[in-house]
Chain A
Amino acid sequence: MQYERPNSMQDATSLLADAGGKAFVLAGGTDLLVRMRGDAFEADLVVDIKSIDGLKEIRESAEGFRIGAAVSCAELGRHDALRGAWPGVVEAANLIGSAQVQSRCTMTGNLCNASPAADSVPALVAAGARAVIAGPDGTRTIPVEEVPVAPGKTSLGKAEIIEAILLDNRPPRSGDAYLRFIPRTEMDIAVVSAGVNVTLDEEGAVASARVALGAVAPTVVLVDAAAEAIVGTRLDDAALDRLAEACTAACRPIDDKRGTVAFRQKVSGVLARRAARIAYERAGGK
């Protein structure tokens, strides 16, 4: 195996483009290095992107936030402006692993690992986040939900690297929240999770909403019916019941070592309902 730590994105994508065997991008390593221990795993090249200019920065502009691909999740938690604008996204990122893992793991890595249970992804999808992808022919920007296509698989080309995640500035009266279910209080992978992002109108009713579920299908599920269930409401019980029902109906889960189909169906609705409440309150709803 060859280890490279390029200083520019161009060098990084060239290394990947020229790689003969299996090549991997390394940022925090909290997924890749675990996989590397497996007997079946083989890597010929690892490209460490942490020395590339700008990749460890959170940049704030008139449009919003640009979060470099190598920014650790712990760093996100320490960024007051980002936390203020997108509390749900930050709390989702901060739920990944232990303090030890937080020091290293990145949201981009979480996205590219393409696990259906990734904590930050439902929150990012609910937030309408976009990914900036660098490649040999320049950059392109796509919605984050288009990055994972199946468990462990992304839509990225061979020499492509996500260099940043974009989160827009928020309209007034907006809030987001993320909740996951784990059997313990820490250190677990989500059994089921929900991210909710809402913007309220001046009267305090939900004007627009996005609801995304994790760990209930091969990729994160954006549940339009759940969003529609609460738009125009102040999250009365009937609206929340419809939201929960829509979430349960949208699940296509499996039985596995972490949970059952029935559990995931039921709890997806429970979490979406609770997350919606939190997002609504964060948006100033009462």
Chain B
Amino acid sequence: MSAIAVSTTINGDDVEYLCHAEEMLLDVLRNRLGLTGAKEGCGTGDCGACSVLLDGRLVCSCLVLGAEAEGANIETVEGMAVGDRLHPLQTKFIEHAALQCGVCTPGLLIAAKALLAQNPDPTEEEIRFGLAGNLCRCTGYDKVVRAVEDAAREMRKG
């Protein structure tokens, strides 16, 4: 069995990797590229812990073949902060205690980023439905929703 060579851009950097045909993008990121920020919570697209942006679209990287990412632009949680400057969502998650165990946090941050890119001023209901693909078992979502609301406010100020 021969591996497939893939050229992509990940968090702004050109990245090339080899993967097997049946290998998921999540496994490529975690096992081949050392990007362990995306987590495998289920492997079936039901928990969102592996969320990344693929050409600007929010996806579960456990439901994308590594081979499909040829030519794609991928953003992961590792690329959210610019240098030592955290993204407003990252700052607000810490400030609002929006994480307890934190294992769902990378996925929630990416999903929230995708949501705010489409809808900079979401209602509570829009946030709740926008994040419905990201399971969190610790927080009951209350502080997560508040953090996203606050980050959205901050980002609208510019």
Spell out A's residues near B (CB within 8 Å).
Answer: 1-3, 5, 26, 29-30, 33-34, 36-37, 43, 46, 48, 50, 72, 74, 97-101, 103-104, 185-187
Contact = CB atoms under 8 A, between A and B. Distances in A.
A33 B24 contact: yes
A43 B111 contact: no
A103 B65 contact: no
A74 B130 CA distance: 12
A26 B44 CA distance: 16
Interface stretch (B53-61, B81-89, B150-158): B53-61
The 6 A-B residue pairs whose C-beta atoms are closest, nearest first, are A98-B133, A186-B132, A3-B21, A103-B57, A1-B21, A100-B60
B65 A99 contact: no
A100 B21 contact: no
B79 interface: no
Contact of A100 (B4, B51, B67, B129): B51
B14 interface: no
A37 B115 contact: no
* Overall SS of chain B's interface: mixed
Nearest to B62: A33
A29 B58 contact: no
B43 interface: yes
Given A3-B4, A34-B45, A98-B48, A103 B132 contact: no
A99 B115 contact: yes
A187 B64 contact: no
Contacts, number: 84
Interface in B33-51: 43-46, 48, 51
B58 A100 contact: yes
Contacts of B51: 100
B103 interface: no
B43 A29 contact: no
Contacts of A26: 65, 68
A19 to B, nearest CB: 14
B114 to A, nearest CB: 7
Contacts of B132: 98-99, 185-187
Contacts of B13: none
Interface size grouping (class) on chain B = 20 to 34
A43 B45 contact: no
Contacts of A72: 57
Nearest to A74: B57
Nearest to A187: B132
28 contacts: A1-B20, A1-B22, A3-B4, A3-B67, A5-B67, A5-B70, A26-B65, A29-B64, A29-B65, A33-B63, A34-B44, A37-B43, A43-B22, A48-B65, A48-B68, A50-B68, A72-B57, A97-B45, A98-B133, A98-B134, A99-B58, A100-B58, A101-B45, A101-B60, A101-B63, A103-B54, A104-B59, A104-B64
Name the residue in A5, A26, A98, A104 with the highest tally of chain B Cβ atoms < 10 Å from its Cβ.
A98
B65 A3 contact: yes
A37 B44 contact: yes
Contacts of B20: 1
Given A3-B67, A100-B51, A186 B24 contact: no
A98 B21 contact: no
A15 B139 CA distance: 49
B2 to A, nearest CB: 9
A50 B69 CA distance: 12
A97 B64 contact: no
Contacts of B4: 3
B45 A36 contact: no
B48 A36 contact: no
A71 to B, nearest CB: 13
